[in-house]
Amino acid sequence: MKTLRKHLEKLRAVKRRSYHPLIHKIRKRYKISKKTLLYVKEYGPHTNVPKTIVKECLKILLFASIISSFGGLALEHIKDIFIPIVPLILVLPALNDMIGDYGIIISSRFSTLLHTGKIRGRWYKNNDLKKLFAQIFIISILTAIITSSIALAISHASGFGFNARIAYKIFLISVIDIILLVNILFLVSIFAGLYYYKKNEDPDNFLIPLTTSIADFGNMLILAILVILLF
Amino acid sequence: MEIFDKKFKEIFCSQIVSIVGGLIAGTILAVYTNKLLLIPGMLILLPGFLEMRGNISGSLSARLTSGLFLGVVKPNKTKTKIVKGNILASFLLAIIVSFVLGVIAFSFIFIFFDIFAPKIILISLIAGILSNTIEIPLTLFFTFYLFSKGHDPNNIMGPFVTSTGDITSVVSLLIVMVLI
């Protein structure tokens, strides 16, 4: 017990940024999980907790903000076409949430598949990956249809007059947007995940910010393109 | 290959929660279009502003949940250094990111549309502070509450934070618009 305490104290003194072989050593010897050791290292009694969190999160949050704003710029350009179509305003936050969530699900589950050694050989022949793709693909189409239906119902109830053609276009925009982005997110997660994994880095730390930023920017851009093409 | 398994149901249910929150936010946006969306730069600001709440509160919840599971954070003790540090960091991040989002929106409308509207920076900053004043305590309360009831907050807080975040963000923007 005394040696464990000594090792943990030593770990706390390790520079926050550097990976230390002590983590591996303590983990192996005392069977303490990696997450616990990370917590000891990151948020120990001698750490300035807010400073550590702000330092680690700020860069990626600012990057995500810039990417999202570029997506918003695409919408601002078509403001005059976009704003009069009430169902589109209604679906915008829901679509943004959904696609961001799919980005997180795809990247975290692909990372887990990599970590557990289930991705071997050719990734496109992997059954777990095929199953994940099928699940996300079906759910995304279902949720896009549900979102569009509710948005159209709310628009109708609030007095926005629309015909079958507009309803069809709203469905088409939501479904195409979701299908395109789910495919893009899958490809990005796979190629970036494999790249970081081969470099012996944890794909979890890179894939989620990467896919959510692509989801944000891509959603706004594809939405803007579809609105221009269809309206 | 069984596609419609437990995981399928979990993802589908969480997405339904997300849709509800998103549609409520969308309805508020549609009702107050004149007050919100017609303001120059608002559509540039909005995606990042909506996303910020999920990013900041989502990470806050995930960090606290990890701490709770590891026993570093106690569910009955909220006034500890680590919890206070997390709250302070989330507020600081919210202020910085809101300001930056406002500056980006201001720069974009000035560069691409030749409109000078510095007000958008103030709107973003005040609305960011206001919405996080609601969202951060809400995240904290529900993370501890769910954990104390034997649930894994990781499975529930993601869609919860994005849904409530959308609503608080849009309502805060609206309140700030009325005030300014």
B140, pLDDT greater than 90: yes
Residue A16: predicted pLDDT = 53
The reply to whether residue B1 touches residue A134, judged by beta carbons under 8 angstroms, is yes
pLDDT at A15 over 70: no
**How high is the pLDDT of residue A186?**
93
A107 part of contact set with chain B, CB < 8 Å: no
Q: Do A100 and B45 touch (CB under 8 A)?
A: no
Cβ separation of A150 and B166 shorter than 8 Å? Answer: no
Q: Do B22 and A97 touch (CB under 8 A)?
A: yes
pLDDT of residue B34: 80
Smallest CA-to-CA distance from A46 within A83, A11, A7 is with A11
Closest Cβ opposite residue A147 in set B19, B38, B162: B19
- Check if the beta carbon of residue B85 is closer than 8 Å to that of residue A134: no
User: Of B100, B54, B120, B51, which is closest to residue A92 (Cα–Cα)?
Assistant: B51
Domains in chain B: ranges and CATH: 12-179 (1.10.357.20)
Cα A65 to Cα A71: distance, rounded to the nearest angstrom: 10
Q: Tell me the pLDDT tens digit for each residue of A151-160.
A: 999 999 988 8
Give the pLDDT of residue B160. 86
Dihedral, CA of residue A76, residue A182, residue A188 and residue B65, to nearest 10? 90
The Cα of B103 is separated from the nearest Cα of chain A by a number of Å equal to 10
Whether the per-residue pLDDT at A195 is higher than 80: the answer is yes
CB contact under 8 A, B81 and A101: no
Nearest to A89 among B29, B81, B162 (CB): B29
Confidence of residue B37 (pLDDT cuts 50, 70, 90): confident
A40 band by pLDDT with thresholds 50, 70 and 90: low
Using CB atoms, which residue from A83, A96, A101 is nearest to B159?
A: A101
Q: Which domains does chain A have, with CATH numbers?
A: 2-42 (no CATH), 61-230 (1.10.357.20)
Q: What is the pTM of this model?
A: 0.82
Compare CB distances from A100 to B54, B72, B90 and report the shortest one's residue. B54
- Mean pLDDT over B125-136 rounds to 94
Is A1 a residue whose pLDDT tops 60?
A: no
ipTM associated with this complex: 0.88
Q: In whole angstroms, give the CA distance from residue A78 to residue A55.
A: 36
Is residue B66 less than 8 Å (CB to CB) from chain A? yes
What are the distances in angstroms from CA A162 to CA A159, A170, A201, B23, B41? 9, 11, 51, 19, 28
For B81-116, write each residue's pLDDT tens digit.
889 999 999 999 999 999 999 999 999 999 999 999
How sure is the predictor about A11, in pLDDT bands with cuts at 50, 70 and 90? low
pLDDT, average across residues A16-21: 57
What average pLDDT does the segment A15-38 reach?
Answer: 65
A71-103 pLDDT per residue, tens: 899 988 888 888 888 999 999 999 988 998 888
Q: How confident is the model at residue A173 (pLDDT cuts 50, 70, 90)?
A: very high
How far is residue B166's CA from residue B30's CA, in Å, rounded to a whole number? Answer: 14
**A92 contact B CB<8A:** yes
Scanning chain B, the segments in alpha helix (DSSP H) are: 6-31, 42-70, 81-113, 119-148, 153-179
Interface residue A146 vs chain B (CB under 8 A) = yes
Query: pLDDT-based confidence at B2, cuts 50/70/90?
Result: confident
